[in-house]
Amino acid sequence: DSGVTQTPKHLITATGQRVTLRCSPRSGDLSVYWYQQSLDQGLQFLIQYYNGEERAKGNILERFSAQQFPDLHSELNLSSLELGDSALYFCASSPRDLPYEQYFGPGTRLTVT
Amino acid sequence: GQQVMQIPQYQHVQEGEDFTTYCNSSTTLSNIQWYKQRPGGHPVFLIQLVKSGEVKKQKRLTFQFGEAKKNSSLHITATQTTDVGTYFCAGLNQAGTALIFGKGTTLSVSS
């Protein structure tokens, strides 16, 4: 158990819909990272937040957005869902003094039908 | 953009055989990290290498960072069935803001 929690574990929804994935980082970690993992694209970095502020952006679609709240939990919002958005979405957090040593949560498996 | 390539994509070995996965970057890396993901699980941080030519060992696992800091390898000696999973390398992007993951090498071990 990495100490990072993610909910829900599974999500099934229809095309065009909007979903919100939630992540709580390890206690004391200020950074939260979101990744998308699909079979053909591997593990793709989406976005990073540090202490409530966006720190870096990766291959995140405009239909996707995220935020980090004052209590440091983060939410990833996916809208106008397409079949190709079906994937595992991981959240990770990192320690203050080891910023790139990332601890991954169990992931949310999103299925878009 | 920066790319991190890993080979092989898949490797099957008999228990007791050695295994090596290689990671190559299109650009010089500040550091490189290795992660392991068991089937149905999430990536788990294994190690970080920072210095040119660095070699680190964790029991049967040996990690190397190339002299030019553009490649790395993970070698497992005498594999066990518990070693099955996908091994990812990840390099810090040029801006220093994000990890770029390789596509991973999936190891299967038969007893």
What single string gives the DSSP state of each residue in B71-98?
EEEEEESS--GGG-EEEEEEEE-TTSS-
Residues of B in contact with A43 (CB under 8 A): 43, 88, 101, 104
- Kindly indicate the confidence band of residue A100, based on its pLDDT and cuts at 50, 70 and 90: confident
What are the C-alpha distances in Å from B17 to residues B42, B77, B83? 25, 7, 11
Run of H or E including A53 = strand A53-57
A 39-78: CB under 8 A from B:
42-45, 48, 55-56, 58
Query: Which pLDDT does position B2 carry in this prediction?
Result: 77
Within a 13 Å sphere around the CA of A86, how many CA atoms are in the beta-carbon half? 10
Query: Which pLDDT does position A41 carry in this prediction?
Result: 75
* pLDDT at residue A97 tops 90: no
- Report how far residue B57's alpha carbon sits from residue B75's, in angstroms, rounded to the nearest whole number: 9
Using alpha carbons only, what angle is made at residue B21 by residues A97 and A47, rounded to the nearest 5 degrees? 40
DSSP state of B70: S
Q: Is B11 helix (H, G, I), strand (E, B) or coil?
A: strand
Q: What is the torsional sign of CA A36, B4, A30, B45?
A: positive
Q: Is A85 helix (H, G, I), strand (E, B) or coil?
A: helix
More confident residue, A97 or A72: A72
Query: Which pLDDT does position B3 carry in this prediction?
Result: 87
The answer to whether residues B65 and B89 touch, using CB atoms and an 8 Å cutoff, is no
Nearest CB neighbour to B48, from listed A43, A45, A100: A100
Query: Which pLDDT does position B83 carry in this prediction?
Result: 97
Cis preceding-peptide flag for B8 (omega within 30 of 0): yes
pLDDT, one tens digit per residue, over A41-84 is 789 999 999 999 999 888 899 999 999 999 999 999 999 999 99
Structure tokens of B66?
A: 């190339």
- Report how far residue A9's alpha carbon sits from residue A108's, in angstroms, rounded to the nearest whole number: 5
Query: Which pLDDT does position B81 carry in this prediction?
Result: 97
Structure tokens of A89?
A: 């979405």
Cis preceding-peptide flag for A99 (omega within 30 of 0): no
DSSP state of A41: T
Query: Which pLDDT does position A1 carry in this prediction?
Result: 84
* Nearest to B24, CA basis, from B8, B12, B10: B8
Nearest CB neighbour to A56, from listed B31, B44, B97: B97
Portion of chain A with pLDDT greater than 70, in percent: 100
Nearest CB neighbour to B43, from listed A43, A48, A100: A43
Query: Using the beta-carbon criterion (under 8 Å), do A2 and B99 form an inter-chain contact?
Result: no
Question: Which residues of chain B fall short of a pLDDT of 70?
Answer: none
- Report how far residue B87's alpha carbon sits from residue B82's, in angstroms, rounded to the nearest whole number: 13
Query: Using the beta-carbon criterion (under 8 Å), do B31 and A100 form an inter-chain contact?
Result: yes
Q: Is A101 exposed, middle or buried (0-12, 13-18, 19+ CB in 10 A)?
A: middle
